[in-house]
Structure 1
Amino acid sequence: MSSKTYSIIGAGAVGGLYGAKLQKAGHKVSFLLRNDYYHVVEKGLIIESVDGDFTLPEVDAYNDVKKMPSSDVIIVALKATQNHLLPELLLPLANKNTVVLLLQNGINIEPEISQIIGSNALIGGLCFVCSNKVGAGKICHLDYGTITIGQYFTNNRPAGITEQMREIAQDFEQANIPIELSEDLLLARWKKLVWNIPYNGLSVVLNARTDEIMANTDTRFLVEKLMWEVAAGAKSCGRIIDDRFIQKMLDHTEKMKPYLTSMKLDYDRKKPLEIEAILGNPLRMAKEYGVDLPMISLLYRQLKFLDFRNQLYIQQLIINK
């Protein structure tokens, strides 16, 4: 086991799960918490997982990033809608050797983050995991759990497998976190969109779980068509996703336990949706190369309206208080 120290920014369903596993395996982990800070300080973190339930009665928890120690690896698991906060969150935790591991959905999000901490210190990560935060300091891990990581290079050039990636992978494997190393981060992000665009988007528009979407002939048809459009978008950027990978995602989702996507949970809680990172950015990237993605564009506009209506409702509540 390495002596690397870890900080978790965004200790929710993803960051809380993986941070807890790292601490359980003996790593020094600091957690930045917000609403449930006092609860976690008093009662710790509870993880209910398909890999085995466990509790961390004591965690190194903070509600002020300026009070946290610097760390070797900063794991960012915030929603992409909160990335405007990262300049004030990352810099206090960084030292000259710090690496940032960005565990976020979507694509083309690394360039902005690299302006804060530098491209040589940035690794993108994609989580194929069914995990929900079900209460203060309590996370329910339902299924899967693999992380794919890739080093970010300027202009999304393939970086190969770096020593930074290998060192992090060793710690994650020791913590029983399945991890895959990608030589091409941009390709890995397009592959994750093969799942994220259809299931996140349709779950909100259709008010449905993944199992309901897969059980209906018409909605499964929509899923497959959207997946092929993602592949077309990837091809426009010089990345190839073959039909075997698309079939693999369909097969995985058919076997998955009934699941509400993260975007559906955010929508139901009237939180801002990751529409731009997951749908807007790939649409714009493909358009730069002269490729239109009409079904994804339609889904994007529908989600924009639903998100606008939710946020308008929140604003009206605030005004009427």
Structure 2
Amino acid sequence: MPRHHMRYAVIGTGAIGGFYGAKLQRSGLEVHFLLHNDHAHVQRHGLKIYSKDGDFSLPAVHAHVKSATIPVCDVVLIALKTTRNYLLKDLLPPWVADHGILLTLQNGLGVEPRLAQLVNPGRVILGGLCFICSHRGAPGEIHHQDYGSLTIGAYGDGYKPQGVTPLLETMANHWRQAGVETFLTPDLGYARWKKLLWNVPFNSLSVVLSATTTEMVTNPQTRTLARDLMEEVQQAAASQGVAIPTTDVEQMLHSTATMAPYVTSMKRDYDHKMPLELEAILGYPLAVARRKGVALPRMTMLHQLLQHMDRHNRHSGGEVPGETPAVAPA
């Protein structure tokens, strides 16, 4: 199908889904956005993106408050926080079991297997890893501070590498024409574990230490702790047959040191008394490593600390449902 005839749906129009969906619409694609809190505002005023690459507005967008009103689309972007995945069964459009490519832009490990349980066998599921610093502002506003690239890979059962397919090449062209730096990975599992090299230390420690990325990476003690956590991610990945070279660790530390000071998404969620993405980022990796007999003491302690902090924080602001505890595959 020609690119200009492709239709996209965005499930979760926040800092990630709103930004990337807006880029797609600006490039000429038809995009339908599912929103909750901002629906009325966005329906009237559209979306506004404040970006380091240049601000832009979409005065009119297809805004939906219910997935049932979204027409059949060729690609469905899943951009919810993983803490809201318990809603996916109800939030996904009714036609999604049989139609459309599913591309999840969520953090962590284990999101694709759970998505596969909600659709018919044989459906195409892609994983997208966003390397971006962005956050929501006022209703209908998204602030893009730094980076913005996207890595896409095809999901196979158990994260079996699928290679780079013609479909992936087509998808990459869509994103590149939208001005998004896009990479393809032949091994989605490896890419997921590599992303955890950043998410495990910096998302987690930002909450415990109440610190920005710059504060964490420029402090010698905290930088050492981050490196130690990265080494445990390497051990967890190795237990699943995924080898992450030390050069990836060094590259991730360097990238963090050179980015603009950033308040992580987990810290923003904590500050707003929202559930933390603990299971996708810590719980699931710990669970799969534990099944292989691999002990990860620092990650385990961090998970336990954050579980306590998360429960106490949400209880003090009115309880909000959290994630379903991670269950490792048999």
Residues 119, 255 of structure 1: CA spacing in aligned structure 2 closer, same or farther, 3 A cutoff? farther
CA contact (8 A) 1:237 1:286 kept: yes
In the alignment, residue 100 of structure 1 is paired with which amino acid? L
Any unmatched runs of 5+ in structure 2?
Answer: 321-330
Question: Which residue of 2 is the match for residue 8 of structure 1?
Answer: 10
Q: C-alpha separation between the residues in 1 aligned to 2:319 and 2:22? A: 38
Name which of 133, 138, 141 aligns with 1:130. 133
CA contact (8 A) 1:161 1:181 kept: yes
Q: Which moved more, 1:191-200 or 1:210-219?
A: 210-219
TM superposition shift of 1:314: 3.1
Asked if 1:281 is matched to 2:284, the reply is yes
Q: C-alpha separation between the residues in 1 aligned to 2:319 and 2:110? A: 33
Question: Which residue of 2 is the match for residue 235 of structure 1?
Answer: 238
1:203-235 Cα offsets, whole Å, 9 max, x none, are 000000001111211111111111111111111
Asked if 1:212 is matched to 2:201, the reply is no
Residues 84, 190 of structure 1: CA spacing in aligned structure 2 closer, same or farther, 3 A cutoff? same
1:237-263 Cα offsets, whole Å, 9 max, x none, are 111111111111011100110100000
SS of 1:183's equivalent in the other structure is coil
Asked if 1:177 is matched to 2:176, the reply is no
Residues 300, 94 of structure 1: CA spacing in aligned structure 2 closer, same or farther, 3 A cutoff? same
Residues 119, 268 of structure 1: CA spacing in aligned structure 2 closer, same or farther, 3 A cutoff? farther
TM superposition shift of 1:316: 7.0
In the alignment, residue 54 of structure 2 is paired with which amino acid? G
Q: C-alpha separation between the residues in 1 aligned to 2:215 and 2:162? A: 39
Equivalent residue runs for 1:115-126 within 5 Å? 115-117=117-119, 118=121, 120-126=123-129
Question: Which residue of 1 is the match for residue 328 of structure 2?
Answer: none
1:72-99 Cα offsets, whole Å, 9 max, x none, are 0000100011111111222425274411
Q: RMSD value over aligned CA atoms?
A: 1.4
Number of aligned pairs? 317
TM superposition shift of 1:54: 0.4
Q: Which moved more, 1:80-89 or 1:25-34?
A: 80-89
CA contact (8 A) 1:37 1:63 kept: yes
In the alignment, residue 285 of structure 1 is paired with which amino acid? V
Residues 119, 276 of structure 1: CA spacing in aligned structure 2 closer, same or farther, 3 A cutoff? farther
CA contact (8 A) 2:16 2:79 kept: yes
CA contact (8 A) 2:70 2:93 kept: no
Q: C-alpha separation between the residues in 2 aligned to 1:260 and 1:239? A: 30
Q: Which moved more, 1:153-162 or 1:90-99?
A: 90-99
Q: C-alpha separation between the residues in 2 aligned to 1:167 and 1:189? A: 21
Question: Which residue of 1 is the match for residue 78 of structure 2?
Answer: 76
1:102-132 Cα offsets, whole Å, 9 max, x none, are 0010101211110112453211111110011
TM superposition shift of 1:138: 0.4
Question: Which residue of 1 is the match for residue 253 of structure 2?
Answer: 250
1:18-72 Cα offsets, whole Å, 9 max, x none, are 0000000000000011111111111110001112110001111111111111100
Equivalent residue runs for 1:179-198 within 5 Å? 179-198=182-201
Name which of 19, 25, 33 aligns with 1:17. 19
SS of 2:180's equivalent in the other structure is coil
Q: C-alpha separation between the residues in 2 aligned to 1:270 and 1:82? A: 14
Q: C-alpha separation between the residues in 2 aligned to 1:232 and 1:95? A: 36
Equivalent residue runs for 1:85-164 within 5 Å? 85-94=87-96, 96-117=98-119, 118=121, 120-164=123-167
SS of 1:135's equivalent in the other structure is coil
Identity over aligned residues, as a percent?
Answer: 45
CA contact (8 A) 1:71 1:95 kept: no
Compute the TM-score of the two structures, normalised by the length of structure 2: 0.93
Asked if 1:26 is matched to 2:28, the reply is yes
SS of 1:105's equivalent in the other structure is coil
Name which of 265, 269, 274 aligns with 1:271. 274
CA contact (8 A) 2:68 2:93 kept: no
Question: Which residue of 2 is the match for residue 259 of structure 1?
Answer: 262
Q: C-alpha separation between the residues in 1 aligned to 2:47 and 2:26? A: 11
SS of 2:211's equivalent in the other structure is coil
1:143-173 Cα offsets, whole Å, 9 max, x none, are 0011111111112211111232222111000
Q: C-alpha separation between the residues in 2 aligned to 1:251 and 1:64? A: 42
In the alignment, residue 314 of structure 2 is paired with which amino acid? Q
Q: Which moved more, 1:86-95 or 1:297-306?
A: 86-95
Compute the TM-score of the two structures, normalised by the length of structure 1: 0.96
SS of 2:276's equivalent in the other structure is coil
Residues 157, 53 of structure 1: CA spacing in aligned structure 2 closer, same or farther, 3 A cutoff? same
CA contact (8 A) 1:72 1:95 kept: no
SS of 1:290's equivalent in the other structure is coil
